[in-house]
Amino acid sequence: MASKEFTHRERIENCLAGKKPDRIPVALWRHFPVDDQDAATLAKAVSLFQTDYDFDLIKVTPASSYCLKGWGVEDKWNGHRHGTRDYTKRAIHQPEDWISLRPLDPDQGQLGMMISCLRMLIDQFSPGTPIVQTIFSPLAQAKNLAGPQELLVHLRKYPDAVMAGLETITETTLRFIHRIGELGIDGIFYAVQHAQYSLLNIEEFDRFGRKYDLAILQQMPDFWLNIGHIHGDNIMFEKLLDYPFQVLNWHDQETYPSLAEAQRLFKGTLIGGLRQEETMMLGSPADVLREKANAIHATHGERFILGTGCVLPITSPIGNILAARAEIP
């Protein structure tokens, strides 16, 4: 008798439970520049991408500014290979600007646009395919409000002002997460960008990062598929091990820890195995299959979802994406 073919949801559920599903789950995600400025167009772009490649979960990837436009930032699409937009106007210039921030209404502006987009995707794909929404940590949002260097200067010179701003960002983020929870979303993809020793020391990360991360993660709805993303190099991997994530994702092919090391440290599920640029963008289908085989060997195919360490470059060849979905010969 032929083995039962799982739905995407069942495949992910089995993976999270430590059971071996019918095949290794695969999840890739990308930005959709220009399309990400409109709810219907972004939903259509995500839908076509999912329909073409049939991934085991849908990670919705809006522009990083979607949660900040209400505070006055502006950005522009300039053709970056990752599909990201460049900030042309910041909202924070003086220390007092942090204190002046007021919570945003999740149903208005770009936040409201995102809710409309998610509603369309949930109507089309749920419950068979899990859907997770990208949420940037308060500190990551603060970086985009002020600029990378200006944030670091402010948090060291004017820590109380920055923390006042982080409180407002945290409140707004929680409002939005509770709102999308009402739609029936399966989880969030929570992006932490400052757990890097090249940016902050441990005490600074605890004070300006971890504190507000936990304020969000401990008060949000009880989602079943929360994915933590630790961005960058030389990361503080151990600092996030007690965050309430079912899944962790980081640049595992480029920085500590390796997949095998991470599996010893983290009892949940891992996403990774593929280099986003060297392999998915510049490599060949054979390179993709080789890295896929190596990742499955490193994890024994358990508690593992094949993916990249961050967004798939928008110039990645179709053949490489198909190879990630293909069975290993």
* Residues 137, 131 contacting (CB under 8 angstroms): no
**Does some domain include residue 62?**
yes
Q: Is the pLDDT of residue 3 over 60?
A: no
- In 3D, which of 254, 242, 252, 311 has the Cα closest to residue 280? 311
Instruction: Give pairs for 213-216: CB < 8 Å, separation 24+.
Output: 213/137, 213/138, 213/243, 214/243, 215/170, 215/174, 216/135, 216/137, 216/138, 216/170, 216/173, 216/174, 216/177, 216/190
Query: 74-76 and 86-89: which strand pairing?
Result: antiparallel
Q: Is the pLDDT of residue 2 over 50?
A: no
- Percent of the chain at pLDDT exceeding 90: 97
Query: 131-136 and 247-250: which strand pairing?
Result: unpaired
Q: Could you tell me the residue range of the domain that residue 298 belongs to?
A: 23-325
Report the 10 Å Cβ neighbour count for 56.
24
**Does some domain include residue 17?**
no
Calpha distance 12→130 (Å, rounded)? 8
Whole-angstrom CA distances from 79 to 30, 262, 314 are: 14, 34, 10
Using pLDDT thresholds of 50, 70 and 90, give the confidence band for residue 5. confident
Query: 74-76 and 58-60: which strand pairing?
Result: unpaired
Q: Is the pLDDT of residue 1 over 90?
A: no
Specify the CATH number for the domain of residue 226: 3.20.20.210
186-203 residues labelled b (16+ CB within 10 A) or e (exposed):
bbbbbbbbbbbeebbeee
**Does some domain include residue 4?**
no
For 69-115, what is each residue's pLDDT tens digit? Answer: 999 999 999 999 999 999 999 999 999 999 999 999 999 999 999 99
**Does some domain include residue 114?**
yes
What predicted TM-score, i.e. pTM, was given to this entire model? 0.97
Cα dihedral: 310, 313, 318, 319 (round 10): -60
**Does some domain include residue 55?**
yes
**To which H or E segment does residue 283 belong?**
none
- In 3D, which of 263, 312, 317 has the Cα closest to residue 31? 312
- In 3D, which of 4, 17, 138, 116 has the Cα closest to residue 68? 138
- Percent of the chain at pLDDT exceeding 70: 99
**Does some domain include residue 9?**
no
- State the total domains in the chain: 1
* Residues 184, 178 contacting (CB under 8 angstroms): no
* Residues 286, 317 contacting (CB under 8 angstroms): no
Tell me what the mean pLDDT of segment 207-222 comes to: 98
244-282 residues labelled b (16+ CB within 10 A) or e (exposed):
ebbbbbbbbbebebebeebbeebebbbbbbbbbbebbbe
* Residues 191, 229 contacting (CB under 8 angstroms): yes
pLDDT at 220: 97
**Does some domain include residue 179?**
yes
pLDDT at 219: 97
For 13-33, what is each residue's pLDDT tens digit? Answer: 999 999 988 999 999 999 999
Q: Is the pLDDT of residue 329 over 50?
A: yes
pLDDT at 282: 98
Calpha distance 151→162 (Å, rounded)? 8
**Does some domain include residue 253?**
yes
pLDDT top residue among 327 and 307:
307
For 273-298, what is each residue's pLDDT tens digit? Answer: 999 999 999 999 999 999 999 999 99
For 134-186, what is each residue's pLDDT tens digit? Answer: 999 999 999 999 999 999 999 999 999 999 999 999 999 999 999 999 999 99
